[in-house]
Homo-oligomer: A and B are copies of this chain.
Amino acid sequence: MTYTPDRMNPLKACRLGLDTHQELTIYLRQDSPVCRSEGFSALSRVLVHTENQHLIATLHTVTGALLSPGEIGFSESAWKRMALQENTSVWLSHPKPVQSLSYIRAKVYDKELSGVQLEEIINDIVAGRYADVHLAAFITACGGDKLNIREITDLTKAMVNSGSKIEWGLPLVVDKHCVGGLPGNRTTPILVSILAAAGLIMPKTSSRAITSPAGTADTMETLTNVDLSLESMRAVVEKEGACLAWGGSVKLSPSDDLLIQVERALDIDSEGQLIASVLSKKIAAGATHVVIDIPVGPTAKVRSNEAAETLSNNFKAVAATLGLNISVMFTDGSQPVGRGIGPALEARDILEVLQNAPSMPLDLRQRSAEVAGAMLEMAKGLPPGEGLKEALAILDSGAAWAKFQAICLAQGALKSPPIAPYRYELIASTDGVVTCIDNRKLAKVAKLAGAPADLAAGVDLHCKIGDAVLSHQPLLTIHAESTGELSYAVEYLEEHLDIIELSSSQKADA
């Protein structure tokens, strides 16, 4: 018995204008001969061909009149990825099983994954072969501490190799990363300005927020253009010694950007994926020396010294295998740094520090100078303490502010951060001393208020641990771009008034 597969009649591509975000989706009429004869049903994965390319997409079916017979609809993501034209001829078939999904099943049973397996997973993700549910399974299976050092190292390599790499041809290219979890801790733009003013080369690419109210890219977006091509990034760095760009726009470690979308929806962090995400971006960006800042505190991302030590050791082990020089520092993570939480509010704090404004948040200035100092000591071989001194001197002289303005202008703009139209103040109900600030709940309020998607949204904090406050004094202000979001942030705040704890013991003792 011989058998020859038929080539079916093509369908006509049709742009439906539906934005399903990163999930590549196609739409077929439920009564279409193709849908029936090929046996596709809802949630199926489908192989979509044109004359010269193909992709795997999720199938949604259409029961109404959105499509004519013989048409196939595309989501915006699928339409753009295939660079289609209206009425392009399209064929469908069954995709081969994605082999790398079986490695995720193995990981669920705590099997160690090989370098080749991790590479296949990452390449399939970049090629768009994973639906969102598959990305969710990968993130969850590798969550917590389920990846060992070897796996993290191989995952990092795979992520570097799946995207562009920048070669600077220089012996010393510096970078830094802060392991988030601390609202408002936006030191990067300040220390990039310090280090570039000190003559170091720092082509900084930053991510957007994953589960926090702002990433450095979100904050910088309120001040300048961060969506730089590789060429313009190179031009900015050649001119000013540094840049402050969004990493996603230069296609460094592109799988990371896809994973981040689903991590945000799940709010699940994975230590292995964290290390791979951070180091793959640094290596792809061509860094040779990196400072990692790990804030430690009861409500920070890293909650104990033991956890910080483990994370630090894992970072060092992976970096060593990959030939990257790193210096890990632990910083105080007991409360937010600066006053603003959210892209524009953090940008305001940064400008105050760079401009040596009398009102500037001193803790943000100090923290930025400490991290810059650690880098100066590693890169220039300075004795302990000398780096911090040099960093503070560069801030005091105005050289950092001059450098920051030059970088922004080289990136095409120096903008004023936007200001939110809707606000709500939380007022102290008694006199007392601030004993505790809950970073996580504070971040939640800022996110509910709309940060980071709404750049002006967030929280402005008016007190720090140890401050004495009086009844009726404002403790924080919520900023929002819409009443809907302000409404929800306020509702959450009123259910969680323990975000800022006041001790009345001073009164009792007095």
Question: Which of A's residues lie within 8 Å of B, judged by CB?
Answer: 1, 3, 5-6, 8, 15-21, 27, 30, 36-39, 41-43, 60-66, 76, 93-94, 96-97, 101-102, 104-105, 108-110, 131-137, 139-141, 143-145, 261-262, 265-268, 270, 423-425, 444, 448, 450, 453-454, 457, 481-488, 490, 492
Contacts and interface: CB of A to CB of B under 8 A. Distances in A.
Contact of A27 (B18, B36, B37, B482): B18
Contacts of A482: 36-39
A30 B110 CA distance: 43
A72 B132 CA distance: 24
A81 to B, nearest CB: 15
Given A104-B268, A137-B137, 4 more contacts: A93-B488, A96-B488, A109-B143, A133-B136
Contact of A262 (B93, B96, B133, B424): B133
A314 to B, nearest CB: 16
A18 B20 CA distance: 13
B133 A266 contact: yes
Given A266-B137, A488-B94, A30 B39 contact: no
Contacts of A484: 5, 8, 37-39, 93-94
Nearest to A21: B42
A143 B144 contact: no
The 4 tightest CB contacts between A and B, nearest first, are: A17-B64, A5-B487, A108-B143, A136-B136
A353 to B, nearest CB: 29
22 contacts: A1-B424, A3-B486, A17-B62, A18-B63, A18-B64, A18-B66, A19-B61, A20-B42, A36-B482, A37-B482, A37-B484, A39-B450, A39-B485, A41-B453, A94-B484, A97-B444, A102-B267, A109-B145, A133-B135, A133-B262, A134-B265, A140-B141
Interface of A is mostly: mixed
B63 A66 contact: no
Nearest to A423: B1
A76 B63 contact: yes
A266 B141 CA distance: 12
A19 B62 contact: yes
Given A37-B482, A136-B136, A267 B63 contact: no
Contacts of A76: 63
Contacts of A487: 3, 5-6, 93
Contact of A485 (B38, B66, B140, B144): B38
Chain B CB count within 10 A is highest, among A1, A18, A96, A486, for A18
A3 B424 contact: yes
A265 B43 contact: yes
A19 B63 CA distance: 7
B268 A108 contact: yes
A446 to B, nearest CB: 13
Contacts of A61: 18-19
A445 to B, nearest CB: 12
A490 B18 contact: no
Contacts of A108: 140, 143-144, 268, 270
A76 B63 CA distance: 9
Contacts of A450: 39
